[in-house]
C-alpha cells in the first residue's frame, strides 16, 4: 500500500499506467479502519495486477472532493489515470475483489 | 473445527461484548463472531453523554474499545467472521460464516444490532457517499466550511447535528413537527437551540436530493402548506431511526413484523438455548446501556440453562437405573406432600431406583419440554428416555407397577 496525498496523488494515481486502487479513509472513520487490513491483504494478493494506494481524506479534503468522494469508506478504481469505478459505503472486501477481477 | 463453544455470540456491539464479559467470567468458553471491528453502531457515535460513569462524556469508539479489551481480558475470543446461516434447532447449534467456516455451540446469543434506516427519497441512493451520509463521525470532516442538512429529530439526529457544527458552516435540521417540538432528550434540545450554527426547518420533510455526481441541493416540502422549497447544501445526513439486521434470521428465530427478534425478559427466544440481545431485539429503549444490559441478562440466563441441562443429563438421562422425576412447585401444596411420599417409596426401594425432584418454579424448561402441565407429575425414565407419566395423585401401587413395567426387557 502506498500512502498518497495532495502532492503525490497526481503522480501515483492520475499519471499511472494500468489499474490503481485508491482506499479513501480518515482516522475518524471506524468502518474504514475495519476495511484497511483486508484491503492490505488484497494489495498483497494482487500486487502484479494493480497498484494500491491509501488517501487520508481528513488532511486532503479538497483532493477527495475533486475526486467526488464525499463519504467514507470509498474505494476508487483508476485505469490509466481515469476513474473507471467506485465502491462506497457498506463496502465489503469481497466486493472490492470482485470489482478488481472485473477490471484487471 | 470440532471444538464446541459453550456460547457463540453473533455480533460484537455493546450487547455482544457484555455477553462476552459475563459469559467468559462464568468460565464459559465464549466466542464473538463479528464482521469487522467490534463496537457496532456505538463505534460510529461521536459523543456518548449518557453512559453511566462518564460525567464528562466519552466517545463511542473509546467506550467500545474499552468494552472489547474488557471482554478479551476475561478470555472471550473475538473473531472476524460474518454469520450468514444458522442451524439453531438442535442441542448443538451450528453457525456458518461467510468465510466458509462452521462454529458449533451449546448456546447462541443473537446480537446482530441494527443499521440506519434509509428513506428511499429520490437521489438518496444515487448520492450515497457523494454527500448523503448516515455516519457523522465517518464523514463530518469533509464538510468543513460547507453547509449540511440533517433529517430527523430524535436523540441521534440532534446529537450528531451538534457534532457536525464543529465542522460545517451551517447545519439545517429538517423537523416534521411543529416549531419547538423535538423527539430528542431535553438537554440535547436545549444545546441545539442555543447553537448559532444550527438552523431549523419545521413542519417539513425531505422530498428530493439533487446533484450531478455530488449533492448540490435538496427539495424540502412543508407538510402544512405543501409548498416545496429548494435549499442549496453540500451534504445530507439521515438519522431517522434504525432497522434490525435480522434478514439472516428469517425463518430461524421468531421475529416480529418489523424484523425485531422476540424474547422474554430473560432474553430467551422461542428456541431453547437461543437468546437475543441489543438493538435487534423487540424492546422499549435502544441505547448502549440497555444493549449491554441485555447482553448481561442473556449470558446469565445462558449459564443457568447450561447448568440445568447438564445436571438433568447427568442425573436423569445418563443414570444407570430407572429414574423417577418428580415435578413439584412450592405454591402447590399437594405436590409437596407427594414429594414426601415419593421419598419414602424411593427409600424403600433402595438402589433399584433414583428420585430426582424438579422445582418447576425455578426450572420451567424441563417441565415444558416433557409437557408437564399439572403439578404434581411424575415421569419415569429408563435408559435416557421418558417411558411413562402420571399426573395428579397416585398411590404406591401405581408407582411400583410402572417401575415393574420399566424393568421388563425391551
Q: Looking at the complex, report in whole angstroms how far the Cα of residue A88 sits from the nearest Cα belonging to chain B.
A: 6
Q: Which three cell numbers stand for residue B25?
A: 467470567
Q: What's the mean pLDDT when you consider all of chain A? A: 92
In this prediction, residue A63 has a pLDDT band, given cuts at 50, 70 and 90, of very high
Mutation target among B34, B84, B129, B131 for the A interface, most CBs of A within 10 A: B129
How large is the average pLDDT for residues B149-167? 95
Count Cα atoms within 13 angstroms, Cβ side, for B288. 28
Question: Judging by DSSP bridges, how do beta strands B102-110 and B274-276 pair with one another?
Answer: parallel
Distance separating alpha carbons of residues B323 and B381, to the nearest angstrom: 5
What pLDDT does A30 receive? 83
What is the spatial distance between Cα B228 and Cα B208, in angstroms, rounded to a whole number?
Answer: 10
User: How crowded is residue B410: how many other Cβ atoms within 10 Å of its Cβ?
Assistant: 5
What φ, ψ does residue B137 adopt, rounded to 5°?
Answer: -65, -30
- Which pLDDT belongs to residue B369? 85
Above 70 in pLDDT, residue B46?
A: yes
Residues in a beta bridge with B378: B326, B390
Which CATH superfamily includes the segment(s) B319-407? Glutaredoxin (3.40.30.10)
pLDDT value, residue B28? 97
A72 and B129 within 8 Å at the Cβ level: the answer is yes
Active site residues of A: 29, 32
Q: Chain A: nearest CA to B288, how far in angstroms? A: 17
What angle do helix axes B60-73 and B14-25 make, rounded to 10 degrees? 20
Res A45 pLDDT > 80: yes
| Burial track B276-292 (b if 16+ CB lie within 10 A, e otherwise) | bbbbbbbbeebebebbb
A65·B37 Cβ contact <8 A:
no
User: Mean pLDDT score of chain B, rounded to an integer?
Assistant: 92
pLDDT of res. B234: 95
Which chain B residue's Cα is nearest to A76? B129
What is the 8-class DSSP label of residue B317?
A: I
The model's pLDDT over B246-290, given as tens digits with 9 standing for 90+, comes to 999 998 888 999 999 999 999 999 999 999 999 999 999 999 999
For the domain made up of B4-116+242-312, give the CATH fold.
FAD/NAD(P)-binding domain (3.50.50)
Of residues A92 and B84, more confidently modeled:
B84
Q: In whole angstroms, what separates CA A91 from the centre of its chain?
A: 12
User: DSSP state, B148?
Assistant: E
Q: In CATH, which superfamily holds the domain spanning B132-238?
A: FAD/NAD(P)-binding domain (3.50.50.60)
Q: Are the beta carbons of B159 and B47 closer than 8 angstroms?
A: yes
pLDDT at B409 over 60: no
Q: A2-103 has which fold?
A: Glutaredoxin (3.40.30)
Q: Which of A29, A70, A74 is most worth mutating to test chain B (most B CB atoms within 10 A of its CB)?
A: A70
Domain(s) labelled CATH 3.50.50.60 in chain B stretch across 4-116+242-312, 132-238
Which of B142-151, B169-178, B344-353 is least confident?
B344-353
Q: Which residue has the cell 436523540?
A: B155
Flag whether residue B280 sits within 8 Å of chain A, measured between CB atoms.
no
C-beta separation of B13 from B291 below 8 A: yes
Examine the predicted complex and report whether its ipTM is higher than 0.90.
no
- Mean pLDDT over A39-55 rounds to 95
Residue to mutate among A63, A71, A76, A97, with most B CBs inside 10 A, is A71
Least confident stretch, B6-20, B167-181, B362-376: B362-376
Distance from CA of B215 to the nearest CA of A (A): 9
Q: Which residues of A touch B81 (CB under 8 A)?
A: none
Lowest-confidence pick of B132-136, B203-207, B365-369: B365-369
* pLDDT > 90: percent of chain B: 70
pLDDT at B408: 67
Q: Are residues B138 and A70, on separate chains, in Cβ contact within 8 Å?
A: no
- Please give the pLDDT value at position B2: 60
Residues 6+ apart with CB under 8 A from B235: A70, B131, B132, B133, B139, B142, B143, B146, B147, B148, B149, B168, B215
B84-127 pLDDT per residue, tens: 999 999 899 999 999 899 999 999 999 999 999 999 999 999 99
The yes-or-no verdict on residue B1 having pLDDT over 60 is no
The per-residue pLDDT for A22 is 97
**Domain coordinates of chain A in residue numbers?**
2-103
pLDDT digits (tens, 9 = 90+) for B17-30: 999 999 999 999 99
Write down the pLDDT at residue B170: 97
pLDDT at A31 over 90: no
Q: Which of residues 39-68 of A touch B (CB under 8 A)?
A: 57-58, 61, 64-65, 68
Tell which phi-psi region holds residue B167, choosing left (phi > 0), alpha (psi between -120 and 50) or beta: alpha
How many angstroms away from the CA of B41 is the closest CA of chain A? 10
The pLDDT confidence band at residue B294, using thresholds 50, 70 and 90, is very high
Catalytic residues of B: 135, 138-139
Nearest neighbour of A30 by CB, restricted to B35, B44, B130: B44
Amino acid at each position: 500500500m502506498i500512502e498518497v496525498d495532495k502532492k503525490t496523488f497526481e503522480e501515483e494515481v492520475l499519471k499511472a499506467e494500468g489499474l490503481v486502487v485508491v482506499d479513501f479513509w480518515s482516522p475518524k472513520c471506524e468502518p474504514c479502519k475495519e476495511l484497511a487490513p483486508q484491503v492490505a491483504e488484497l494489495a498483497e494478493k494482487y500486487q502484479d495486477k494493480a497498484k494500491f494506494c491509501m488517501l487520508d481524506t481528513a488532511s486532503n479534503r479538497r483532493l477527495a472532493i475533486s475526486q467526488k468522494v464525499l463519504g467514507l469508506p470509498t474505494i476508487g478504481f483508476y485505469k490509466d489515470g481515469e476513474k473507471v469505478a467506485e465502491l462506497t459505503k457498506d463496502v465489503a472486501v469481497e466486493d472490492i475483489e470482485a470489482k478488481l477481477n472485473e477490471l484487471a | 473445527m470440532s471444538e464446541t463453544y459453550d456460547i457463540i455470540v453473533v455480533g460484537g456491539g455493546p450487547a455482544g461484548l457484555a455477553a462476552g464479559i459475563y459469559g467468559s467470567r462464568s468460565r464459559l468458553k465464549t466466542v464473538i463472531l463479528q464482521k469487522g471491528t467490534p463496537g457496532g453502531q456505538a463505534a460510529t457515535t461521536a459523543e456518548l453523554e449518557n453512559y453511566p460513569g462518564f460525567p464528562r462524556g466519552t466517545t463511542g469508539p473509546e467506550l467500545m474499545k474499552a468494552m472489547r479489551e474488557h471482554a478479551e481480558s476475561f478470555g472471550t475470543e473475538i473473531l472476524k467472521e460474518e454469520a450468514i446461516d444458522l442451524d439453531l434447532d438442535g442441542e448443538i447449534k451450528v453457525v456458518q460464516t461467510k468465510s466458509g467456516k462452521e462454529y458449533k455451540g451449546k448456546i447462541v446469543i443473537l446480537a446482530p444490532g441494527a443499521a440506519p434506516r434509509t428513506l428511499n427519497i429520490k437521489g438518496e441512493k444515487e448520492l450515497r457517499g457523494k454527500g448523503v451520509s448516515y455516519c457523522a463521525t465517518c464523514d463530518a470532516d469533509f464538510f468543513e466550511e460547507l453547509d449540511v442538512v440533517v433529517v430527523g429529530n430524535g436523540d441521534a439526529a440532534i446529537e450528531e447535528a451538534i457534532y457536525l457544527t464543529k465542522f460545517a458552516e451551517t447545519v439545517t435540521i429538517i423537523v416534521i413537527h411543529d416549531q419547538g417540538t423535538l423527539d430528542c432528550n431535553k438537554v440535547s434540545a436545549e444545546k441545539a437551540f442555543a447553537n448559532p450554527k444550527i438552523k431549523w426547518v419545521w413542519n417539513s420533510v425531505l422530498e428530493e436530493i439533487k446533484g450531478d455526481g455530488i449533492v448540490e441541493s435538496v427539495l424540502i416540502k412543508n407538510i402544512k402548506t405543501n409548498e416545496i422549497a429548494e435549499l442549496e447544501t453540500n451534504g445530507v445526513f439521515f438519522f431517522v431511526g434504525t432497522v434490525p439486521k435480522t434478514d439472516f434470521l428469517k425463518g430461524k428465530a421468531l421475529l416480529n413484523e418489523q424484523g425485531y427478534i422476540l424474547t422474554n425478559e430473560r432474553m430467551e427466544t422461542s428456541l431453547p438455548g437461543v437468546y437475543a440481545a441489543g438493538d435487534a431485539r423487540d424492546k422499549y429503549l435502544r441505547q448502549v446501556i440497555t444493549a449491554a444490559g441485555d447482553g448481561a441478562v442473556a449470558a446469565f440466563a445462558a449459564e443457568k440453562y447450561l447448568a440445568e441441562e447438564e445436571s438433568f443429563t447427568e442425573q436423569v438421562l445418563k443414570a444407570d437405573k430407572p429414574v423417577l422425576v418428580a415435578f413439584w412447585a412450592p405454591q402447590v401444596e399437594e405436590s409437596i406432600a407427594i414429594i414426601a411420599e415419593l421419598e419414602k417409596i424411593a427409600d424403600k426401594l433402595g438402589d433399584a431406583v433414583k428420585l430426582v425432584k424438579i422445582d418447576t418454579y425455578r426450572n420451567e424448561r424441563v417441565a415444558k419440554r416433557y409437557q408437564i402441565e399439572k403439578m404434581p407429575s411424575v415421569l419415569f425414565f429408563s435408559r435416557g428416555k421418558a417411558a411413562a407419566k402420571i399426573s395428579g395423585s397416585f398411590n404406591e401401587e401405581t408407582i411400583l407397577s410402572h417401575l415393574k413395567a420399566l424393568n421388563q426387557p425391551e
